[in-house]
């Protein structure tokens, strides 16, 4: 299977290089004989039959589909002239992006914690680097060169959707359902789109939504936005968890539009998440964007993976919190926040 | 009822031996009936049409309580690798990295979780009910309410959860109370539509006990409506099925509805 990959990407490379002067061109699919034979040879060589054979075929074709349309990551990064946003690029860029895009945080005590965050950077749930290209496209809406890339991106998106759809058809039939019955006819497509909606946070960046809504105000009292409904997906079982987020910050000459706090919650929650990481990501994003005197985030959520299956405890809630800056150092500030949000 | 149970047993055995030979679970070979909403095929499989599907679904709802398992524990183990492979494809398609530490075993966990959410396909009503039907000279309403219910939306594969309230007027035969909750479990742990779920529960109780009347009310929250799409957080869907005297006599119905509300 690895050889098949290499052959394919080599084909892609050759085509793109030939027409490099004309910009990005979608490399036509070459009906390669070796490709069709190789998987068969590999599978027969390993003696896989039956279910495993079926599943690998399925996975193979989808992975090859992706390889066909996958944009060349390195080229894309070179083409952009912006520093990729911190939370969305690959791990190596994360460190650099953190210190270059935003000046050093104003509170020293939180730095060790922030560094601890970077230490676990390889655990950041982030995705393919095409995000940077997309955000550039969003900003330069009227540029023509962007249109081709958008088309390419849409093609890649629809291929991905098709792959997810096929996967869901397999799931339905393996679960023992009749995929031809009326209620299930278009379920794979609907489920694939739903899943894409539930993970749309991967494509969004805090920079894109926050840039316009930071205002200079001479206000240094606590600002709390509470009871923000939150829906996310457990990354271990792919089952929803939902609850409320309460956010507070002590502004330091800069305040942010209130709905932007809720939008930050949306960006990070619409991903495959672990509640602890989600809380930390929200707090870090706010502290980087606003450089406030302190940030506090509390999330209380119900995990369907615990309610619907496994230990099946209906009324259990999970509460996580992150306190940065003054909220961490001064217990009275913290108490004021907790009594205002959770006290009632 | 005894007679029909006997015949059910013998036909069960026939079907069991038949099932042992068939390879594909869930693709019926003429004998096995599907959960309501699917088609009931004769020995010669017929093409699906919307019109014959709907008329058959009505018939199969009424008979669904006698249906066979479409899945077994062995089938579960055999389908796990392909389910896990499908979930790996989904993870990759969403743009995540299936090799990162938090996602390494996620395909297997998600596959097992999904099998648990559809374990109703492995269970038979007859197994659950056989021992717990008692002859009691009781003809007042029996209500079991606030039964937590968790199901999966068959259109989006996203959870539905809520509460079920069941009431029935016995006709010389009563059912063990937890068996009502078990009936709810069997039918809810499937890919469902809330209307069909309500009807299936009501019909199962009717067929098993032949009571004077049955009422089932389900109020549920649909994550497909809360987490996506129209995104209305506080909306609930309420469906009900009233059979027998619950349907005909408004006073009985009122009593039932008042008691479940209080």
Q: What is the pLDDT of residues A18-57, one digit of tens each?
A: 444 444 444 454 544 444 455 445 444 444 444 444 444 4
Tell me the average pLDDT across A127-141.
Answer: 49
Long-range residue pairs from A153-161, CB within 8 A, at least 24 positions apart, any chain? A153/A71, A155/A26, A155/A69, A156/A66, A156/A69, A156/A70, A156/A71, A156/A130, A159/A65, A159/A66, A159/A68, A159/A69, A160/A66, A160/B93, A160/B94, A160/B95, A161/A189, A161/A192, A161/A193, A161/A196, A161/B93
**What is the pLDDT confidence band of residue B59, given thresholds at 50, 70 and 90?**
very low
What average pLDDT does the structure give for chain B? 79
Q: Which pLDDT tens digit goes with each residue over A313-334?
A: 999 999 999 999 999 999 999 9
B154 part of the active site: yes
**What is the pLDDT confidence band of residue A152, given thresholds at 50, 70 and 90?**
confident
What does each C-alpha distance from A152 to A74, A120, A295, A309 come to in angstroms?
Answer: 16, 33, 40, 41
Nearest CB to B85; choose among A58, A184, A196: A58
Nearest CB to B81; choose among A51, A166, A229: A51
B194 part of the active site: yes
Most confident of A207-221, A269-283, B55-69: A269-283
pLDDT at A121 over 50: no
**What is the pLDDT confidence band of residue B244, given thresholds at 50, 70 and 90?**
very high
Residues of A in contact with B33 (CB under 8 A): none
| Residue A135 Ramachandran class (φ > 0 left, ψ -120 to 50 alpha, else beta) | alpha
Record: contact B90-A197, CB cut-off 8 A: no
- The pLDDT, as a whole number, for residue A77 is 41
B195 part of the active site: no
Tell me the average pLDDT across A98-106.
Answer: 40
- The pLDDT, as a whole number, for residue A343 is 78
Cα three-residue angle B142-B191-B115, rounded to 5 degrees:
105
**What is the pLDDT confidence band of residue A58, given thresholds at 50, 70 and 90?**
very low
pLDDT at A107 over 60: no
List phi, psi (to 5°) of B163.
-130, 145
pLDDT at B32 over 90: no
Whether the CB-CB separation of B159 and B205 falls below 8 Å is answered with no
Record: contact A123-B228, CB cut-off 8 A: no
Tell me the average pLDDT across B137-160.
Answer: 94
For residue B72, the chain A residue with the least C-alpha distance is A176
pLDDT at A295 over 60: yes
Record: contact A184-B27, CB cut-off 8 A: no
> Mutate which of A175, A203, A241 to test chain B, going by most B C-beta atoms within 10 A?
A175
- The pLDDT, as a whole number, for residue B69 is 73
- The pLDDT, as a whole number, for residue B73 is 84
Interacting residues of A158 by C-beta distance below 8 A, sequence separation 6+: none
Residue B131, min C-alpha distance to chain A (Å): 26
What pTM was computed for the model? 0.68
For residue B95, the chain A residue with the least C-alpha distance is A127
Name the least confident of A68-82, A184-198, A253-267.
Answer: A68-82
- The pLDDT, as a whole number, for residue A101 is 38
Residue A239, min C-alpha distance to chain B (Å): 8
Q: Which pLDDT tens digit goes with each residue over A177-212?
A: 888 999 999 999 999 999 999 999 999 998 888 878
**What is the pLDDT confidence band of residue A73, given thresholds at 50, 70 and 90?**
very low
**What is the pLDDT confidence band of residue A156, given thresholds at 50, 70 and 90?**
confident
> Mutate which of A5, A176, A204 to test chain B, going by most B C-beta atoms within 10 A?
A176
What does the alpha-carbon distance between residue B237 and residue B217 come to, in Å, rounded to a whole number? 10
- The pLDDT, as a whole number, for residue A154 is 83
Question: Is B181 in CB contact (< 8 Å) with chain A?
Answer: no
The b-or-e profile of A77-91 (16+ CB within 10 A means b, else e) is beeeeeebbbbbbbe
Residue A53, min C-alpha distance to chain B (Å): 9
- The pLDDT, as a whole number, for residue B237 is 95
Q: Domains of chain A (ranges plus CATH)?
A: 4-127 (no CATH), 136-198 (1.10.286), 207-341 (3.30.1130.10)
pLDDT at B258 over 50: yes
Judge if ipTM > 0.90. no
Residue A123: DSSP 8-state: G
Q: Which pLDDT tens digit goes with each residue over B64-87?
A: 556 667 788 888 889 999 999 999
pLDDT at B119 over 50: yes
Nearest CB to B85; choose among A56, A168, A177: A56
Catalytic residues of A: 234-237, 275, 303, 305
For residue A131, the chain B residue with the least C-alpha distance is B95
- The pLDDT, as a whole number, for residue A46 is 45
Whether the CB-CB separation of B106 and A236 falls below 8 Å is answered with yes
Most confident of A18-27, A115-124, A268-277: A268-277
**What is the pLDDT confidence band of residue A148, given thresholds at 50, 70 and 90?**
confident
List phi, psi (to 5°) of A32.
-90, 125
- The pLDDT, as a whole number, for residue A147 is 80
What number of C-beta contacts closer than 8 Å exist between A and B?
Answer: 202
pLDDT at A69 over 90: no
Name the least confident of A83-87, A179-183, A204-208, B190-194.
Answer: A83-87
Nearest CB to B79; choose among A122, A166, A174: A174
Whether the CB-CB separation of A233 and A198 falls below 8 Å is answered with yes
Tell me the average pLDDT across B22-41.
Answer: 36
- Say what percent of chain A tops pLDDT 90: 44
Residue A191, min C-alpha distance to chain B (Å): 4
Record: contact B70-A167, CB cut-off 8 A: no
Nearest CB to B121; choose among A176, A184, A235: A176
Tell me the average pLDDT across A72-84.
Answer: 43
């Amino acid at each position: 299977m690895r050889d098949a990959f290499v052959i394919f990407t080599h084909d892609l490379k050759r085509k793109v290089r030939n027409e490099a002067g004309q910009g990005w061109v979608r490399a036509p699919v070459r009906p390669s004989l070796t490709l069709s034979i190789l998987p068969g040879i590999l599978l027969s060589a390993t003696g896989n039959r039956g279910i495993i054979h079926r599943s690998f075929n399925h996975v193979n074709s989808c992975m090859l589909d992706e390889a066909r349309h996958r944009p060349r990551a390195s080229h894309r990064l070179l083409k952009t002239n912006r520093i990729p946003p911190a939370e969305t690029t690959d791990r190596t860029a994360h460190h650099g992006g953190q210190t270059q895009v935003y000046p050093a945080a104003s509170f020293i005590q939180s730095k060790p914690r922030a560094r601890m965050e970077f230490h676990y950077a390889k655990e950041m749930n982030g995705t393919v680097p095409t995000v940077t290209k997309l955000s550039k496209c969003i900003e330069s809406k009227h540029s023509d060169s962007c249109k081709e890339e958008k088309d390419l991106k849409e093609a890649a998106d629809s291929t991905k959707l098709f792959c997810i759809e096929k996967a869901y058809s397999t799931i339905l039939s393996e679960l023992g359902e009749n995929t031809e019955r009326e209620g299930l006819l278009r379920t794979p497509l609907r489920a694939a789109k739903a899943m894409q909606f539930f993970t749309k946070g991967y494509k969004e960046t805090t920079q894109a939504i926050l840039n316009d809504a930071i205002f200079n105000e001479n206000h240094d009292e606590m600002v709390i936005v509470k009871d923000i409904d939150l829906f996310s997906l457990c990354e271990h079982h792919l089952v929803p968890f939902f609850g409320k987020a309460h956010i507070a910050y002590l502004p330091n000459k800069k305040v942010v539009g209130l709905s932007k706090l809720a939008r930050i919650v949306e960006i990070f929650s619409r991903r495959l998440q672990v509640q602890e990481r989600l809380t930390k990501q929200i707090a870090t994003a706010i502290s980087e964007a606003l450089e406030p005197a302190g940030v506090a985030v509390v999330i209380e959520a119900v995990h369907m993976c615990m309610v619907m299956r496994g230990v099946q405890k209906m009324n259990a809630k999970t509460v996580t919190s992150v306190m940065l800056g003054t909220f961490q150092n001064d217990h009275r500030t913290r108490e004021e926040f907790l009594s205002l949000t959770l006290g009632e | 009822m005894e007679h029909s149970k006997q015949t059910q047993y013998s036909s069960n055995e026939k079907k069991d031996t038949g099932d042992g030979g068939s390879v594909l679970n869930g693709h019926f070979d003429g004998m096995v009936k599907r959960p309501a909403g699917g088609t009931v095929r004769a020995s010669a499989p017929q093409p699906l049409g919307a019109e014959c599907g709907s008329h058959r679904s009505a018939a199969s709802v009424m008979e669904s309580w006698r249906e066979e398992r479409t899945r077994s524990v062995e089938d579960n183990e055999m389908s796990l690798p392909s389910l896990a492979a499908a979930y790996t494809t989904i993870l990759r398609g969403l743009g995540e990295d299936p090799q990162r530490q938090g996602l390494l075993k996620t395909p297997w966990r998600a596959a097992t979780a999904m099998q648990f959410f559809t374990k109703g396909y492995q269970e038979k009503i007859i197994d659950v009910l056989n021992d717990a039907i008692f002859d009691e000279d009781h003809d007042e309403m029996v209500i079991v309410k606030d039964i937590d219910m968790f199901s999966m939306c068959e259109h989006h594969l996203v959870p539905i959860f809520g509460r079920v309230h069941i009431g029935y007027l016995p006709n010389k035969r009563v059912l063990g109370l937890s068996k009502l909750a078990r009936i709810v479990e069997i039918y809810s742990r499937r890919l469902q539509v809330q209307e069909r779920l309500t009807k299936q529960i009501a019909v199962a109780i009717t067929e098993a006990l032949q009571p004077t009347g049955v009422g089932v009310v389900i109020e549920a929250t649909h994550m497909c409506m809360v987490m996506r799409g129209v995104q209305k957080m506080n909306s609930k869907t309420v469906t009900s099925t009233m059979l027998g005297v619950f349907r005909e006599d408004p006073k009985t119905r009122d009593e039932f509805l008042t008691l479940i509300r209080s």
